[in-house]
Structure 1
């Protein structure tokens, strides 16, 4: 019995030494808090009704336009975000005839005078600004005016013409060499 007791005492002593040995090691801990803030992309579409860009294009539109008229409608985009951005713009013409089937209307009777020096038409139907915009920078106008064909017939009387302009932006940093190569454009059209 004495042998069993000494083996048991030896085991208890051994376990005590192991547990004390584990507790006796020095430890340390350190936590680093790293804050990383991402950049942002934001734009503003501006439309003007005068060449001096002092009168915003009216949201309710312009009334009484006659065949052969040319109205001032300037569309440009400003980078209001904190990072360099590529810009593209979609333009859609919609004609609603008052007394006729609107499918009879010819969208080519309303001609938007596009700036083809600073903008290019992509295969997807969007107009791409040729250079990235720095924060606070504005594009050259995509167009300055809209012309109504002199030959527009009576079917256009009291019609409503909507020119929908929608601007999009995506980051320029690490995103291709130009707007046409850039990825990440928002879903649209």
Structure 2
């Protein structure tokens, strides 16, 4: 009879032990799943540029006659930048609803006194500023050019044409090689003018 009582007591205690083990495992598992999250807020720099120019638009432009047009780029944001500029000259003749575009290539029909010391023309058609453009209200590049004129000896069709020069500027922060990703799809130039641009900018990158 005593042995039976012991066996009965053992089986009564066993479920209690199992329950304790299960509860203990659950508590341990829950403790391992506890995590701590903190939100870190940072101020994102403001990346903005503005084309500035000294220019008084004349009524007409005579061939081989220079017109003052000083073009710079200003950093009006809060972070340092690298900048590049695309120039789109256009000479058109409008006759009613029809428009005829005449050749207007820089260096041929359109002449600019380009600054080749602080700027470099890449094979992709962009003019790259070879310095870091610091942030600040008075931070501007050196002039890209200061004068514009039409080549002498242009045909009669140019006499009644309208000339315009669109200036497009792009900027990127100075983080190391960000300009490669943004402007060249991550490709590193290994020859030509863009190789020199890459060398100059990589030395000045953060």
Query: Once the 2 structures are TM-superposed, how far is the Cα of residue 134 of structure 1 from its aligned partner?
Result: 0.9
User: What CA distance in whole angstroms lies between the structure 1 residues aligned with 2:94 and 2:24?
Assistant: 94
For residues 79-107 of structure 1, the C-alpha deviation after alignment (integer angstroms, 9 at most, x for no partner) is: 12222211111112221134699465453
Q: Secondary structure at the match of 1:167?
A: strand
Q: 2:38: which partner in 1?
A: 32
**182, 185, 190: which is aligned to 1:184?**
182
Specify whether residues 106 and 87 from structure 1 end up closer, same or farther in structure 2 by C-alpha distance, changes over 3 A only. closer
Q: Secondary structure at the match of 1:12?
A: helix
* Conservation of the 8 A alpha-carbon contact between 1:97 and 1:105: no
Q: 2:174: which partner in 1?
A: 172
User: What CA distance in whole angstroms lies between the structure 2 residues aligned with 1:111 and 1:29?
Assistant: 66
**What's the Cα RMSD here?**
3.5
TM-score, normalised with respect to structure 2 = 0.67
Query: Once the 2 structures are TM-superposed, how far is the Cα of residue 112 of structure 1 from its aligned partner?
Result: 1.8
For residues 52-98 of structure 1, the C-alpha deviation after alignment (integer angstroms, 9 at most, x for no partner) is: xxxxxxxxx64322223221122111112222211111112221134
- Which ranges in structure 1 are unaligned for 5 or more consecutive residues? 51-60
Q: Secondary structure at the match of 2:91?
A: strand
Q: 2:142: which partner in 1?
A: 140
Query: Once the 2 structures are TM-superposed, how far is the Cα of residue 10 of structure 1 from its aligned partner?
Result: 2.3
For residues 10-43 of structure 1, the C-alpha deviation after alignment (integer angstroms, 9 at most, x for no partner) is: 2332234335656887x68644333344434221
Structure number with higher helix proportion: 2
